[in-house]
Structure 1
Amino acid sequence: MYGYFFSKLSSIVNFVGSSSKRHSQLKSIRGNEIIDLIKSGELGTGTRVNQASTLQRPASTHWSSHYTSIIRVIELFGSICTLLEDLIGGKLTFGIRAEAKGLLKVMMTFDFVFMLLLMHRVLETSDMLCQALQRKNQDILNAMSLVATTKLLFQKMRDDEWDDFLWSVNNFCDTHDIVVPDLTDRYIEGTKRSCQQKNQFTVEEFYHFHVFNVVIDKQLMKLNTRFTEESIELLILCEALNPSDGFKSFSESAIYSLIEKFYPSDFSKDDMKHLKTQLDHYKLDVFEDPRFKDVDSLPKLCQLLVETKKSRIYFVIDKLIRLVLTLPVSTATTERAFSGMKLLKTPLCNKMEQEYLNNAMILYIEKEIACEIDIEYIIDMFDLLKNRRLQLK
């Protein structure tokens, strides 16, 4: 049911959004609904409220976009159904009318609404964590706190919020005239099982234990797999090197624990002997250096240590910082890089050499740095390499 739901959700969003005419029709229908709701007193008025929104396709590399996509479908549910009904009765091709009829049939089922509202609650709970993990300058301690609180909220949802959730599903179905099955009936699951197996639980028990609990358990399993106790401890210890807020998180004991527990083979006995002395000087030197005052991330700290040649003095600390920078706290940047490669290496550019592709990818990923490049200077340097028949300017 989980995969089926997202497949149908994607079909609905693509069907409506792929046509500018259907897109305009949806906005018009929603606008009329808002006017009627305001007239009936169900909606208030004010600046920047009751604006007619549109559907949004979820992006494969932006987790929160799936949440936004579901919010829009819930908000425009009635308008989408009205649009599909109009298309079914309109003078359109058989294919379009058949597709609209099939999607409307799916939307008007209890199963679809149940999964729509369930995924809304699930993604709403995990949205703050997703946003935190996608930031380039990550606050590791707060991100790890969000991991813990997200787990607790999922567990609370699983243990205590079934009745409240079921009421919201029934209320949504009543609002949109969707048939709600008798939850006290015996649930019949497929045709491959024996009659005794088919009637082991009621409809409510099926949706509660085999859908609601299973979906939430999957989210908890993902969090537990991605953020084990060991990985969380590693990330929390890494925060001791964070230079933000005037090196507020700095802790010698955490740095020693980080090396001893996670990087024992990367540092020799001589390195550990040098570490104490380097840390003593590091606190008095780097902490007080005005050039490091506004540094707010480990990548910037590492870069500045190299620029000021302090990486040669504090070579053990520099080595530890570089090791920490290789930790994949989030896969968002990697996913965006692969998404960017699809845009750069198209079928028309499939013979692009590896070196050229690497350079193009760096410019695409590091857009902030690329924006600071002086294009005119590059053109001038390229022009001076050799005489050309055609001048660039």
Structure 2
Amino acid sequence: MFAVTRVVLHGIIEDLSHTTYSQCGDADEAYDHLQSFEFVFILHLMKEVLGRTKTLSQALHKKPQNILNAIELVASTKVSLNDYKNNGWDSLLAEVTYFCHRHLIETPNMSAPYTSPRYRPHKKDIHVTFEHYYRVDLFTCTLDKQLHELNSRFNEHAMELLALSSSLVSKEINVDKICLLVEKYYPEDFTEQEMIHLRYQLGIFSVEKTKNTKLSGASTISELCKSLVETQKRETYYLVDRVVWLILTLPVSIATTERGLSAMKIFKNHLRNKVADEYLTNSLVIHIENEIAEKFDSESIID
């Protein structure tokens, strides 16, 4: 892909009969960047980072989630990125250097003072070598940001919440973990008497789960919720059902909300000079009211 892209750009630069001077200038600038050591270094670094996070990203985008597997995958991804940060510099530099030699791209002297090929050199540049720039400012900084992103999105509280939740779909239900989950994260959704009764209800439910194939076959929280409805056990184990529904709101309250806010941010950035906040708020309220009205109309038709 790299060689083909380089040939295409070179063809645009040389073929003045079918291109404008502006297009030739853009192609020439892109060709210079493509032929730089910094571009090749960032390209290989992106490949390594995306390769180590691709499995996690694909797993988290799946609708049916195995919480315990997701937790283990997040932890494994963190370990992989941290290990590459501590031990991957030499292999990355060797790979980039070999690639540059093969494509006749000039490689800098890593012990020489760093000077940017795109900007005028500053006085502080003489105190920074090329190795420091590429290793610290690019390599280490990029991996630190990736680890920080994972740690912020999957902090200790979120990981503990997911770990406690996974006990409901494990082979043997850990009653203490579920009760701790309710006491710690959902104290306002259960009265003191309901918390006491929940422990006994979980004990009976764990016994029946081992004997009921539909209940024991549930590998995710959503499947457990469906099996409670299909087996008509939802009313019997109403406290367990409530815990399941509270856990199911996690993806809605986290992922869906973030996607909605991101979409709104894009919309406002694109039309920020034409659309005011008040208009956006009113439009959003009207849209929600219309959605609710359509839902009730459809339900009335079905009835």
TM-score, reference length from structure 1: 0.62
**How far, CA to CA, are the matches of 2:121 and 2:12 in structure 1?**
37
Pick from 159, 171, 192: which aligns with 1:269?
Answer: 192
Q: CA deviation at 1:271?
A: 0.4
**How far, CA to CA, are the matches of 2:259 and 2:186 in structure 1?**
29
**Gaps (5+ residues) in structure 1?**
1-75, 342-349, 363-377, 383-393
Structure 1 residue 226 corresponds to structure 2 residue 153? yes
Letter in 2 for 1:323: L
Cα distance 1:129–1:160, how it changes in 2: closer, same or farther (>3 A)?
same
Matches for 1:1-393 after TM superposition, within 5 Å: 76-90=1-15, 91-94=17-20, 95-188=22-115, 191=120, 193=122, 195=123, 197-242=124-169, 247-248=170-171, 250-292=173-215, 294-328=217-251, 353-354=287-288
**How far, CA to CA, are the matches of 2:102 and 2:165 in structure 1?**
51
Contact 1:239–1:249 (8 Å) recurs in 2: no
**How far, CA to CA, are the matches of 1:216 and 1:282 in structure 2?**
45
Letter in 1 for 2:110: L
Tell me the alpha carbon deviations over residues 184-212 of structure 1, each in whole angstroms, 9 at most, x when there is no partner.
2111365585x2x2211211111111111
Where 2:111 maps in the other structure, the secondary structure is coil
Q: CA deviation at 1:280?
A: 2.9
**Gaps (5+ residues) in structure 2?**
265-282
Q: CA deviation at 1:250?
A: 2.2
Identity %: 35
**How far, CA to CA, are the matches of 1:235 and 1:279 in structure 2?**
18
Residue 62 of structure 1 corresponds to which residue in structure 2?
Answer: none
Cα distance 1:329–1:125, how it changes in 2: closer, same or farther (>3 A)?
farther
Cα distance 1:107–1:281, how it changes in 2: closer, same or farther (>3 A)?
same
Contact 1:88–1:97 (8 Å) recurs in 2: yes
| RMSD between superposed Cα atoms in Å | 3.2
Letter in 2 for 1:259: V
Letter in 2 for 1:92: H
Q: CA deviation at 1:225?
A: 0.8
Cα distance 1:162–1:329, how it changes in 2: closer, same or farther (>3 A)?
farther
Would you tell me which structure has more helix in proportion to its own residues? Answer: 2
Contact 2:64–2:222 (8 Å) recurs in 1: no
Cα distance 1:102–1:324, how it changes in 2: closer, same or farther (>3 A)?
same
Q: CA deviation at 1:284?
A: 3.5
Cα distance 1:331–1:132, how it changes in 2: closer, same or farther (>3 A)?
farther
Cα distance 1:331–1:176, how it changes in 2: closer, same or farther (>3 A)?
farther
**How far, CA to CA, are the matches of 2:61 and 2:86 in structure 1?**
29
Q: CA deviation at 1:114?
A: 0.8
Q: CA deviation at 1:170?
A: 0.8
Q: CA deviation at 1:269?
A: 1.2
Contact 1:125–1:150 (8 Å) recurs in 2: yes
Report which structure shows greater RCO (CA 8 Å, sep ≥6).
Answer: 2
Q: CA deviation at 1:261?
A: 2.3
TM-score, reference length from structure 2: 0.79
Where 1:179 maps in the other structure, the secondary structure is coil
**How far, CA to CA, are the matches of 2:126 and 2:262 in structure 1?**
47
Letter in 1 for 2:26: E
Contact 2:215–2:228 (8 Å) recurs in 1: no
Q: CA deviation at 1:228?
A: 1.2
